[in-house]
Structure 1
Amino acid sequence: MMFHEIRSGDNIKEVIKSAFDLDLDVSGEWGYDQNRALIIHSFDGDIKQLEHTLASIRAYIEMNMSLPEERRYGGINVNEIGRKTIRKNNKIYDKIIYEVSGMPEKRYAEFIEEYKKMYELPDFDIEDHFRRRRENTVILNSVFWFDISNIK
């Protein structure tokens, strides 16, 4: 399953501030390729953690916020599976591959409710519960480009 890219044109800093109440020193686009890298101007912390946060924001917008309610995903997780630093034209980029997972939001809510109700009952088959959750999870690999020239 593929999700639609977030359209360019909106001020990425303002979108992040408005939707997630995070004030980050960023600009550019959503990092779908090198030419549309998300530019990190400054950050006083662990850059890998910031990159993960930004990838999670993009995944949440793609898989939840930008979709009609009946098509939204929940339980969205982003895990780094590959990283490469690239120097080109006096710029430094982190090209990161993330494994992004989630399941249809209504189904996710059903699994959470089942777990809450059944967890302490003796006949609750927790292995079956998590097997069914895995079967209902969509997993995809997503590439994210960050321009980190200003912070390295």
Structure 2
Amino acid sequence: MPFKNIPAGDDVKEVIKAAFDVEFDLSGDWGYDMPHAMIIHRTAIPLQQLQHTLASMRAFIEMNMTMPEDERYGAINVNETARECISENNRIYDKITYEISGMPEKLYEKFIDEYKSEYESPDFDLAAHFRRRKESSVLLEKPFWFDITDVNKTE
């Protein structure tokens, strides 16, 4: 798939605020590897919930927001498949592997329209509908590195 990593350089916290109108206490980069980990300083919500939210945001930026309009993906879902806590150079990292699925946005819209118009019909094969949706989806596996050293520190 032609999905590209989000380029380093822009302030992650500001990009997330501009794109999703939400503010988190973050710095660092987009978490593609340990040297470019996303640093979580503090969180008011459970850490795993925040990490999943951030992984979903990154996937949406990669698969939708940065793609040409006719190549955008929708129905983007992110599921954790593995988690590893790594201590290195007095830092604590969570390396999380996510399975990311999505399908071309225009195709997704057709599936939604079909579902809405046919759902109550006795001839509608719901199992076949969802099987075709699954077959039309791409499936990626990507790591996300979080530096969580500061999360549990008290000042």
**TM-score normalised by the shorter chain: which range applies?**
over 0.9
2:12 aligned with 1:21: no
Match of 1:131 in 2: 131
Looking at structure 2, the residues matched to 9 and 113 of structure 1 have their Cα atoms a distance apart, in angstroms, of 40
Residue in structure 2 matched with residue 5 of structure 1 by the alignment: 5
In the aligned structure 1, how far is the partner of 2:116 from the partner of 2:140? 28
3-state secondary structure, aligned to 2:100? strand
Q: Which residue of the partner structure matches residue 85 of structure 2?
A: 85
CA distance in 2, matches of 1:47, 1:2: 30
**One-letter amino acid of the structure 2 residue matched with residue 62 of structure 1:** E
Percent identity of the aligned residues? 59
SS of 1:111 mapped into structure 2? helix
Question: Segments of 4+ in structure 1 off by > 3 A?
Answer: none
Deviation at 1:3, TM superposition (A): 1.3
Deviations 1:49-108 (A, max 9, x none): 000000000000000000000100000000000000000000000000000000000000
Structure 2 length as normaliser, TM-score?
Answer: 0.96
Q: Aligned runs of 1:101-112 on 2, under 5 Å? A: 101-112=101-112
Structure 2 stretches lacking a partner, 5+ long: none
Structure 1 residues not aligned, in runs of 5+:
none
- 2:141 and 2:29 mapped to 1: Cα distance? 19
Q: Pairwise mapping of residues 19-98 of structure 1 onto structure 2 (< 5 A)? A: 19-98=19-98
- In the TM superposition, residue 2 of structure 1 has moved relative to its aligned partner by 4.7
